[in-house]
Structure 1
């Protein structure tokens, strides 16, 4: 019976990728806090994890030759966040305090996923060595 990485590592390999992408997105939100008309984005973790596990990517299909080719930077699970504060006049929806808190929470969840993945790999090493 062959063992695959999918079976051995479980969902942890996918959660790391989703958490890393969320970190990038939250950091981008913080970096663009003063950019006029910038809309804060976030990842719906369950949607992004399901897409990562299935290996699907986001694309729009042309069903007619007259349709425009649509390219988008939104990936599965990526959504625009509703503003928690009143508009200051520049159209920016980033609340820096919320973004920092979400970034820290995501960092801790990333570390937890890394710890789980390391323990799975350590278990595989023990099995290979016969310990």
Structure 2
């Protein structure tokens, strides 16, 4: 039984990482598309913190929002993660720094691809177990 629990925890963690990376991608591309919007503040999702909180909520812990800037997963029925306004430099027009956003986009893409590859490895291992188990 411990192998099944371990497999499902890893599978769940990878699934959550993919979901968070997708949501973060949406916010980063929105920041980039609003590059020419006056007074626009870039929005961000803290990937590591969001993943840690998502995994805690998967284990039945009740999350308590202790600060207005914290992510509140406990009361968010849709599973969406609320972004926070990023502290950035005012460039005289808005708070979007294209170099910073492009770097975040590349980092997020790497996290997404890593989670997808991990998920594929888990599924291939399961496929091998099923195929070899009948022999």
Alpha-carbon RMSD: 2.6
| TM-score, normalised via structure 1 length | 0.73
Preserved contact between residue 58 and residue 75 of structure 1 (Cα < 8 Å): no
User: Is 1:75 aligned with 2:74?
Assistant: no
Structure 1: gaps of 5 or more residues: 61-73
2:37 aligned residue: 35
Structure 2 matches for 1:1-80, cutoff 5 A? 1=1, 3=4, 6-7=8-9, 9-53=11-55, 54=57, 57=73, 59=75, 75-76=81-82, 78-80=83-85
What residue number does 1:94 align with? Answer: 96
Q: TM-score, normalised by structure 2?
A: 0.71
Unaligned runs of 5+ in 2: 64-72
Q: Which of the pair is proportionally richer in helix?
A: 2
Matched residue, 1:67: none
* Alignment correspondent of 1:105: 107
Which of the pair has more CA radius of gyration? 1
Tell me the distance in 2 between the aligned counterparts of 1:120 and 1:51: 23
Does the CA-based 8 Å contact 2:23-2:81 persist in structure 1?
Answer: no
Gap change, CA 1:34 and 1:8, over 3 Å in 2: closer
